[in-house]
Amino acid sequence: MRPNRPHAQPSVNRQLLANRSPRSGTQGPRPPRPQRSRLARWALIPIFGVVAVVLAGCSQAQLSGFLPGGPGVTNNTARVTSLWVNSWIVLLGVGVITWGLIIWAVVVYRRRKGQTGLPVQLRYNMPIEIFYTVVPLILVLGFFAFTARDQAAIEADPGNPDVQVEVFGKRWSWDFNYLDEKVYSPGVQVQNRLNPDGSIDTSKLPTLYLPVGKKVQIDIESRDVAHSFWVVDFLYKKDMIPATTNHMYFIPEKIGTYQGKCAELCGEYHADMLFQVKVVSQADYEQQIQALRDLGQTGRLGPSYNTNSNLPGAGATTTEG
């Protein structure tokens, strides 16, 4: 901090007036200007801009803030979309006010013809310093509060799931255990099913089936390193940590096929660690479960297939011999 000036600071208005008056070193008096009409013209620009955007109407993509998916993919997507869009509206409001003030200051206090040197500088103005400390603090606390509220709602365990699926991430594929029906769907590692040209055959992706409109609980685990279970259109992802079980709770509300990815850099084939989620009717779901049963895939691919089962904390015996 530089030391304050020995004399009292002039008020903002006095400083601004001083800035606009002819200064020493200028060449003659300034001709009168139609200041008010100029200001009005500048003020109209952002107003016209906002009106034009509003009148143009908004597409569904714009209304959802260009997030993937559409409305109502799960019971949580509306909440996430609302947090995202409303945050942007607040931030754009702050942006428009800030940009407007910058442009206003640049235009109104620009160097006039014949002026030299620096204008009167504004510093140590307590009302302004308090303003630009308190307002961002309110914004950050507000974003924190709304995020915490929505996260708590999405993370809350509603209990009594209709469908409970255990998902194991592994380098580089996914295993799905349908715990209620006691069947499983093993994922063949992507590095073993690439096309000759190195591309991935998306028709053979590991696929998780879920019945529409049912309470789903996903238990999320890893067989080796940290992965992340991300269904893009569900607008949610969760880390898969070795020797840890995380959970996701949601109700898929729209029949369709959704793309899933690993969202945690996990090694050479991370980018190809893809899967699909098919949200289907209850009848189609039962048909798929029966198909897995007919293949003899009954039981559970549990943690005994973890590749790091000999690491400390993974439950392996440490006694040699």
At what angle are helices 77-108 and 126-155 packed, to 10 degrees?
170
The two beta strands, 236-240 and 207-211, are unpaired
Q: How far is the CB of 98 from Cu ion (least distance, A)?
A: 40
Return the closest-CA partner of residue 168 out of 216, 240, 234, 269: 240
> Between residues 231 and 262, which has the closer beta carbon with respect to Cu ion?
262
| Interatomic CA distance for residues 169 and 307, integer angstroms | 11
Q: How far is the CB of 262 from Cu ion (least distance, A)?
A: 3
Q: How far is the CB of 229 from Cu ion (least distance, A)?
A: 9
Q: How far is the CB of 268 from Cu ion (least distance, A)?
A: 10
> Between residues 183 and 273, which has the closer beta carbon with respect to Cu ion?
273
Residues of the shown chain interacting with Cu ion in the complex, contacts defined by CB under 5 A: 227, 262, 266, 273
Q: How far is the CB of 154 from Cu ion (least distance, A)?
A: 22
Q: How far is the CB of 222 from Cu ion (least distance, A)?
A: 8
> Between residues 218 and 266, which has the closer beta carbon with respect to Cu ion?
266
> Between residues 226 and 251, which has the closer beta carbon with respect to Cu ion?
226
> Between residues 181 and 272, which has the closer beta carbon with respect to Cu ion?
272
The C-alpha R_g of the chain, in whole angstroms, comes to 30
**Which amino acid does the sequence have at 311?**
L
The SS3 assignment for 33 reads coil
Return the closest-CA partner of residue 193 out of 272, 279, 97, 138: 272
Alpha carbon 203 to its chain centroid, in Å, reads 29
Q: How far is the CB of 271 from Cu ion (least distance, A)?
A: 9
> Between residues 208 and 262, which has the closer beta carbon with respect to Cu ion?
262
> Between residues 236 and 285, which has the closer beta carbon with respect to Cu ion?
236
Distances (CA, A) of 244 to 94, 163, 191, 207, 226: 41, 21, 25, 23, 10
> Between residues 266 and 289, which has the closer beta carbon with respect to Cu ion?
266
Q: How far is the CB of 53 from Cu ion (least distance, A)?
A: 40
Return the closest-CA partner of residue 69 out of 273, 311, 287, 250: 250
Return the closest-CA partner of residue 210 out of 274, 278, 160: 278
Please state the φ and ψ torsions of residue 99, each to the nearest 5 degrees. Answer: -60, -40
DSSP structure string for 169-237: EETTEEEEEETTTTEEEPPPPGGGSB-TTS-B-GGG--EEEEETTS-EEEEEEESSS-EEEEEGGGTEE
